[in-house]
């Protein structure tokens, strides 16, 4: 606790105290997240292991279903590495899902083919919310930690491994709604009509996310990313009260180093372009941007405090080689010269993306970005 407090009291850019990554053969991502010089702009793709890859679909079929794949550390490790065999990506992301936490809380996650996630026991009554307990990651989420450990070992330092969790708010959206939605009115109704109950749920989620991310870091995650996928559904004041406050607590609660190596954190609030400064103030190392934001304007707006990740429109990957190369160059040019940019899409890759287009993008980013470093 005393150590956590001490880290918390370091004012700005505590990450800059770290200089070298000795274990990683390719530490470009870590350097860019710490805004240190790199030879080129690192790139990885949200949902890089997913249904657009035929080898992913084959492994998923062997596992039986998406959830069985998540729960099988050998196969989850296999798919974590699959995109790296095809493309010169600068990071791997642990193959899992943000909904493992509510599942570990007993909500009973399953996936309906073509419809996305569904909970057998969504939080429909006050009593169910008051009964919730913070899961112990090493007990209830052991399969994820085993995947992190195995993926970390299998990578052997080739590139960093990204661990992740959903934000307390985004998890609450699914837990109360019971599945996917476009507006998540169930939890939004609760936060307006029963704010204390909403805060109780967010508090439990917050403690769960902190414990889960720290356990992933202990197991070998080199970077952590927090997906606040639905934060952009909120008004500015509701965003502050029901999402941002908890994002800050998560950033405060996660360890910033392991064995003397920095563990940078990335916060991605989809639709949060107008709150970038507030997100920076959480103390995260980097902010993820969706494609609606001008990354150059965002950089000018926040100064040198954090790195930025993003933000090519995933739809670009459905077009041609020429268009992909041109649009990649546009994003690089918009960010401009210097370090502190991690190239990514503005959201997950579409399942209808031709795999070779991801290769075109990764190579274009590596090729064009050298001029900016
Ligand atoms: O990025 C990666 O490659 C790592 C794996 C990853 C998955 N989900 C695998 C997955 C990550 C980081 C996530 C995060 C996640 N999961 C989020 C936040 C990011 C985002 O996309 O906004 C959310 C909201 C979820 C919840 C979730 N999981 C939904 C809504 C769905 C259905 C979406 C769909 O396209 O059908 C999932 C399923 C899921 N998670 C798939 C994958 C590869 C597809 C499942 C399949 O193979 O059938």
Q: Which residue's CA is the closest to the ligand 1 atom numbered 11?
A: 97
pLDDT in the model for residue 15: 57
CB 246 within 8 A of CB 227: no
Which of 43, 45, 50, 83 most suits a substitution to test ligand 1, by most atoms within 8 Å of the C-beta?
Answer: 50
The residue among 23, 186, 199, 210 whose CA lies nearest residue 101 is 210
Ligand 1 centre to CA of 101 (Å) is 14
pLDDT band of 305, cuts 50, 70, 90: confident
Beta carbon of 97 within 6 Å of any ligand 1 atom: yes
Task: Establish how many alpha carbons lie within 13 A of residue 151's alpha carbon, considering only the half-sphere containing its beta carbon.
Answer: 35
Mean pLDDT of 240-256: 98
pLDDT in the model for residue 162: 98
Question: Could you tell me whether strands 223-228 and 109-112 are parallel, antiparallel, or unpaired per DSSP bridges?
Answer: unpaired
Q: Which two tokens mark 311? A: 């933000």
Beta carbon of 84 within 6 Å of any ligand 1 atom: no
Mean pLDDT of 210-236: 98
Residue 11 pLDDT exceeds 60: no
Separation between Cα atoms, residue 81 and residue 215, nearest integer Å: 21
Beta carbon of 169 within 6 Å of any ligand 1 atom: no
Ligand 1 closest atom vs CA 45:
1
Beta carbon of 164 within 6 Å of any ligand 1 atom: yes
Residue 146: enclosing H or E segment and its boundaries?
A: helix 142-155
Q: Which two tokens mark 61? A: 């079929």
Beta carbon of 116 within 6 Å of any ligand 1 atom: yes
Mean pLDDT (the chain, rounded): 94
pLDDT in the model for residue 346: 98
Ligand 1 centre to CA of 373 (Å) is 33
Q: Which residue's CA is the closest to the ligand 1 atom numbered 41?
A: 50
pLDDT tens-digit readout, 37-87: 999 999 999 999 999 999 999 999 999 999 999 999 999 999 999 999 999
Q: Which residue's CA is the closest to the ligand 1 atom numbered 35?
A: 116
Beta carbon of 231 within 6 Å of any ligand 1 atom: no
Phi then psi dihedrals of residue 354, to 5 deg: -65, 125
Residue 298 pLDDT exceeds 80: yes
pLDDT tens-digit readout, 144-179: 999 999 999 999 999 999 999 999 999 999 999 999
Q: Which residue's CA is the closest to the ligand 1 atom numbered 2?
A: 47
Phi then psi dihedrals of residue 223, to 5 deg: -145, 150
Q: Hunting for tokens 């000018």 — which residue is that?
A: 300
DSSP string for 181-211? -SS-HHHHHHHHH-HHHHHHHHHHHHHHHHH
Cβ contacts of 350 within 8 Å, gap of 6 or more: 52, 314, 315, 317, 318
Beta carbon of 80 within 6 Å of any ligand 1 atom: no
Residue 302 pLDDT exceeds 70: yes
pLDDT in the model for residue 4: 44
Separation between Cα atoms, residue 67 and residue 62, nearest integer Å: 12
Q: Which residue's CA is the closest to the ligand 1 atom numbered 22?
A: 229
Ligand 1 centre to CA of 296 (Å) is 28
pTM over 0.75? The answer is yes
Distances 125 to 130, 167, 323 between C-alpha atoms, Å: 9, 22, 50
pLDDT tens-digit readout, 93-150: 999 999 999 999 999 999 988 889 999 999 999 999 999 999 999 999 999 999 999 9
Question: Which are the catalytic amino acids?
Answer: 47, 51, 60, 97, 174
**pLDDT higher for 99 or 23?**
99
**pLDDT higher for 21 or 61?**
61
Which contacts qualify for 332-337: CB closer than 8 Å, 24 or more apart? 332/41, 332/365, 332/368, 332/369, 332/372, 333/296, 333/372, 334/294, 334/295, 334/296, 335/41, 335/295, 335/296, 335/299, 335/308, 335/372, 336/296, 336/299, 336/372, 337/372, 337/373
Ligand 1 centre to CA of 60 (Å) is 14
pLDDT in the model for residue 115: 87
pLDDT band of 14, cuts 50, 70, 90: low
Q: Which residue's CA is the closest to the ligand 1 atom numbered 25?
A: 98
Beta carbon of 118 within 6 Å of any ligand 1 atom: no
Residue 26 pLDDT exceeds 90: yes
CB 145 within 8 A of CB 138: yes
pLDDT in the model for residue 66: 95
């Amino acid at each position: 606790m005393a150590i956590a407090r001490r880290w918390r009291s370091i004012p700005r850019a505590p990450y800059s105290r770290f200089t070298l990554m000795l274990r990683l053969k390719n530490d470009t991502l870590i350097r860019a997240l710490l805004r240190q010089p790199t030879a080129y702009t690192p790139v990885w793709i949200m949902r890089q292991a997913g249904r657009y890859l035929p080898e992913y679909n084959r492994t998923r079929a062997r596992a039986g279903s998406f959830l069985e794949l998540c729960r099988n550390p050998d196969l989850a490790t296999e798919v974590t590495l699959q995109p790296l065999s095809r493309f010169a990506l600068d990071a791997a992301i642990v193959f899992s899902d943000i909904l493992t936490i509510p599942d570990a809380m007993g909500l009973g996650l399953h996936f309906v083919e073509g419809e996305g996630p569904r909970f057998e026991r969504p939080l429909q009554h006050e009593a169910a919310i008051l009964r919730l307990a913070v899961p112990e990651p090493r007990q209830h989420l052991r399969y994820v930690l085993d995947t992190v450990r195995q993926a970390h070992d299998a990578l052997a330092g080739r590139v960093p491994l990204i661990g992740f969790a959903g934000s307390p708010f985004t998890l609450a959206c699914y837990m109360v709604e019971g599945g996917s939605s476009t507006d998540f009115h169930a939890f939004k109704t609760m936060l307006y009509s029963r704010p204390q109950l909403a805060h109780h749920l967010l508090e439990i989620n917050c403690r769960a996310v902190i414990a889960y991310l720290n356990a992933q870091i202990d197991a070998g995650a080199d970077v952590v990313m927090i997906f606040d996928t639905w934060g952009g559904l909120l008004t500015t004041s509701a965003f502050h009260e029901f999402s941002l406050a908890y994002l800050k607590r998560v950033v405060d609660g996660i360890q910033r180093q392991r064995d003397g190596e920095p563990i940078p954190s990335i916060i991605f609030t989809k639709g949060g372009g107008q709150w970038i400064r507030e997100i920076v103030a959480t103390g995260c190392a980097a902010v993820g941007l969706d494609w609606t934001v001008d990354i150059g304007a965002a950089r000018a707006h926040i100064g040198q405090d954090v790195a930025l990740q993003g933000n090519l429109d995933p739809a670009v990957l459905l077009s041609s080689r020429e268009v992909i190369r041109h649009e990649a160059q546009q994003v690089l040019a918009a960010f401009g010269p210097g370090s502190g940019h991690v190239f990514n899409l503005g959201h997950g890759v579409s399942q209808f993306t031709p795999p070779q287009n991801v290769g075109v993008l990764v190579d274009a980013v590596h090729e064009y970005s050298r001029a900016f470093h």
